[in-house]
Amino acid sequence: DAGVIQSPRHEVTEMGQEVTLRCKPISGHDYLFWYRQTMMRGLELLIYFNNNVPIDDSGMPEDRFSAKMPNASFSTLKIQPSEPRDSAVYFCASRLTSGSGGELFFGEGSRLTVL
Partner 1 sequence: KNQVEQSPQSLIILEGKNCTLQCNYTVSPFSNLRWYKQDTGRGPVSLTIMTFSENTKSNGRYTATLDADTKQSSLHITASQLSDSASYICVVSASGGYNKLIFGAGTRLAVHP
Between 3 and 16, CB nearer to partner 1: 3
- Please, which residues bridge with residue 2 across strands? none
Angle formed at CA 84 by CA 31 and CA 53, multiple of 5 degrees: 20
Site for partner 1 in 17-76 (CB under 8 A): 31, 33, 42-45, 48, 55-56
Between 64 and 113, CB nearer to partner 1: 113
The yes or no reply on residue 101 touching partner 1 (CB under 8 A) is yes
Q: Please, are residues 67 and 75 in contact by the beta-carbon 8 Å criterion?
A: yes
Query: Is 84 in a helix, a strand, or coil?
Result: helix
Query: In angstroms, what is the minimal distance from the CB of 16 to partner 1?
Result: 27
Query: In angstroms, what is the minimal distance from the CB of 20 to partner 1?
Result: 19
Q: DSSP assignment of 23-72, as one string?
A: EEPPTT--EEEEEEEETTTEEEEEEEEETTEEEE-TT--STTEEEEEEET
The yes or no reply on residue 1 touching partner 1 (CB under 8 A) is no
Query: In angstroms, what is the minimal distance from the CB of 73 to partner 1?
Result: 18
Tell me which residues touch partner 1 (CB under 8 A). 4, 31, 33, 42-45, 48, 55-56, 91, 93, 95, 100-104, 106-109
